[in-house]
Amino acid sequence: MARYLYMEEVPFKPQAFERAAESLESSKEDVKEIYKKGGLKALMEIPGVGKSIARHIEEYIKKGKIKDYENFKKRMPLKMDEMVRVEGLGPKKIKVLYKELGVHDLKTLEKAAKAGKVAPLFGFGETTEKNILQGLEFLKRDKGRFLISEILPIAREVKEKMEKFKGVDKVDIAGSLRRGKETIGDLDFLVIAEDSKRIMDFFVSLPGVEKVWGKGGTKASVRMRYGFDMDLRVIPNKSYGAALQYFTGSKEHNIITRKIAIEKGLKLSEYGLFHGSKMVASHTEEDIYKKLGMACPPPEIRENAGEVEAALKNELPKLIDLKYIKGDLHVHSNWQDTDGGKDSVEALAKYAISLGYEYIGISDHTKTLKIERSLNEKELLEQVEYIKKLNKSFQISNATFGSPSGSRKFQILAGCEANILKDGSIDIDDKVLEELDYVIAGVHSFLKMEKAEMMARIKKAMQNPNVDILAHPTGRVVGQRDEYAVDIDEILKIAKDTGTILEINSSSRLDLRDIYIRKAKNHGVKMIINTDAHKKEQMNLMEYGILQARRGWAEKGDIINTLPIEELLRHF
């Protein structure tokens, strides 16, 4: 609804709806359950949800739609959700395209842009028209897939519902989601159940199912209203491990494991590992891999990219895990921006403690970033002093942690996310950068530069002795924007020479890519997993960065925010 409000230029309301939406997306409890327990009053306790928005939520829970939203869509019959996925298109530009050219979906948008009708519009121009066409091509390549952070919460909710269903002994998510792929096409569930018919009936009647593609004795397939399919297979207990191995994939991994089985005179399928007609392993994945003479590879690296060879030699990596993370250093606060929907430094720190962290780093944007409130040199220094005072007085229960030298209090670090300017300089004076605990620097403008120019720009920034971390190093946003022109091998060489840490950004950027993470590991380049959180609940995105790092074979020693605070600061 916020997007339609933006188009109608309603003041304040769009931001209110966006803040409420962010809270709902990051909430660990289903909004229906919240309403069921406490009604409107409970909804109004959700951050960003006032009385008016609470009533809209109640209306949707009861009726499955919101009257005001339906009226908006009638006044402006646009496929808004698909159009805003095109880079550079927001509600205001979409409104102009609709009113001036009758553009209402991606098809009419492409037709207008190819005909050269977009460039002459006020506020657009040839560059915007070119970017729109590039964005449309990007979306075509990414068609039909969902960002993991969009689909995993839904998958977990379905899994939880089935686990609670009477007669179900075990439920697992399989397929590309179990492998932690950054985008997912559909969902696969495996179940051990006493009565397959009852669980099939339950599965096809789950909330959100809009079409049943098929339902048999042991398999059901449905289409969800979100736009993806879900498959359920009921597996006998004796074959469960074999089925989980097979349906997890990848296809390439399965091909090579089957070849190994054949070389040993065995046959591997989703039903088990057989020697002739005799089943020799099937109950667990570990049993199957052991019989093949292999260690069991973590699902995230089953891509036939060296994991089979490593498993045969018992040289699999001990992958990074969420439990090793001691803090998040890319978190944005509401410092000097109390109306921006972000949280206070203290609120962020308290939330970090609730996650079991030992430290948090505040990294607000710096002065040349105009899309949101940013800090100049004077404000950064004021923030440093504020954080120092807050650290001294920070008395929160359970805020101390054991260490070899005794207990220590939770610590807030003062950093920033500085902008790398077009010429490679940093937009904050070096003397001020020196006063910070660490500095993250990132490219946020002039993203279409030629490779040689972009590399010279990034190299200069990485050679600045005050820059500790390169934020979202390739600039991509999954499903929305491709990488800018960079040479990743050159970036790794510069990082190795300068000691610059490369960020694995856990937001929808998921930047670095998994293949680059593995390259960085092989080059001995240190990395950090951050969330780029703009409100406290977004710190829960850390798990997606962890999955990305695991797919890149990263281990605890490759990631610097697994270090205790003293070692981390020494590293900087």
Tokens representing 426 are 């940093």
428-457 mean pLDDT? 95
**Domain-embedded: residue 241:** no
SS (H, E, C) 205-248: CCCCEEEEEEECCCEEEEEECCCCEEEEEECCHHHHHHHHHHHH
Asked if residue 350 and residue 289 are part of one domain, the reply reads: no
In this predicted model, which residue has the larger pLDDT, 407 or 553? 553
User: Do 286 and 296 meet the contact criterion of CB atoms below 8 Å apart?
Assistant: yes
Q: Cα dist. 203→155, 197, 230, 316 in Å?
A: 12, 10, 9, 37
Mean pLDDT of the chain: 89
Asked if residue 326 and residue 297 are part of one domain, the reply reads: no
Asked if residue 208 and residue 136 are part of one domain, the reply reads: no
Last residue of a domain, one of 85, 120, 141: 141
Last residue of a domain, one of 141, 165, 181: 141
Using the predicted structure, report yes or no on whether residue 400 has a pLDDT greater than 50. Answer: no
Identify any residues that bridge with 408 across adjacent strands, giving them in sequence order: 401
Give tens-digit pLDDT for 153-179. 999 999 999 999 999 999 999 999 999
463: nearest Cα among 509, 486, 511, 430: 430
Last residue of a domain, one of 270, 291, 312: 312
Asked if residue 502 and residue 478 are part of one domain, the reply reads: yes
| Cis check: omega of the bond before 506, within 30 degrees of 0 | no
pLDDT attached to residue 403: 41
Q: Cα dist. 202→20, 421, 569 in Å?
A: 32, 56, 53
Enter the DSSP assignment of 396. -
Collapsing DSSP states into helix, strand and coil, what is residue 269?
strand
SS (H, E, C) 104-132: CCHHHHHHHHHCCCCCCCCCCCHHHHHHH
Distance CA 32, CA 299 (A): 33
User: Do 182 and 548 meet the contact criterion of CB atoms below 8 Å apart?
Assistant: yes
**Domain-embedded: residue 244:** no
Asked if residue 556 and residue 432 are part of one domain, the reply reads: yes
Using the predicted structure, report yes or no on whether residue 406 has a pLDDT greater than 70. Answer: no
Residue 462's domain comprises: 322-571
Asked if residue 7 and residue 153 are part of one domain, the reply reads: no
**Domain-embedded: residue 249:** no
Collapsing DSSP states into helix, strand and coil, what is residue 565?
helix
Q: Cα dist. 436→178, 388, 416, 466 in Å?
A: 39, 11, 8, 9
Asked if residue 114 and residue 186 are part of one domain, the reply reads: no
Residue 105 main-chain phi, psi, to 5 deg: -155, 180
Distance CA 461, CA 441 (A): 8
Using the predicted structure, report yes or no on whether residue 234 has a pLDDT greater than 70. Answer: yes
Asked if residue 562 and residue 502 are part of one domain, the reply reads: yes
Using the predicted structure, report yes or no on whether residue 474 has a pLDDT greater than 60. Answer: yes
19-33 mean pLDDT? 70
Radius of gyration, alpha carbons of the chain? 26
Give tens-digit pLDDT for 46-94. 887 888 888 888 888 887 778 877 777 677 677 777 788 787 788 888 8
pLDDT attached to residue 8: 54
Identify any residues that bridge with 419 across adjacent strands, giving them in sequence order: 442
Asked if residue 264 and residue 116 are part of one domain, the reply reads: no
Of the candidate ranges 110-114, 126-130, 452-456, the one whose mean pLDDT is the lowest: 126-130
3-state helix, strand, coil in the chain (%, to 5): 45, 15, 40
Of the candidate ranges 62-66, 215-219, 389-393, 485-489, the one whose mean pLDDT is the lowest: 62-66
Asked if residue 150 and residue 137 are part of one domain, the reply reads: no
Asked if residue 97 and residue 8 are part of one domain, the reply reads: yes
471-482 mean pLDDT? 91
Distance CA 337, CA 334 (A): 5
- The CATH number given to whatever domain includes residue 293 is 3.30.210.10
pLDDT attached to residue 291: 96
Distance CA 74, CA 269 (A): 52
Q: What angle do CA 340, 23, 226 make, to 5 degrees?
A: 120
Helix or strand holding residue 469 (H, E): strand 469-470
Give tens-digit pLDDT for 296-310. 999 999 999 999 999
User: Do 408 and 565 meet the contact criterion of CB atoms below 8 Å apart?
Assistant: yes
Identify any residues that bridge with 184 across adjacent strands, giving them in sequence order: 146
Give tens-digit pLDDT for 511-566. 999 999 999 999 999 999 999 999 999 999 999 999 999 999 999 999 999 999 99
Which parts of 227-344 fold into alpha helices (H)? 240-248, 251-263, 285-291, 307-312
Residue 527: count other Cβ atoms within 10 Å of its Cβ: 27
**Domain-embedded: residue 247:** no
Asked if residue 402 and residue 298 are part of one domain, the reply reads: no
Distance CA 379, CA 337 (A): 12
**Domains held by the chain: number:** 4
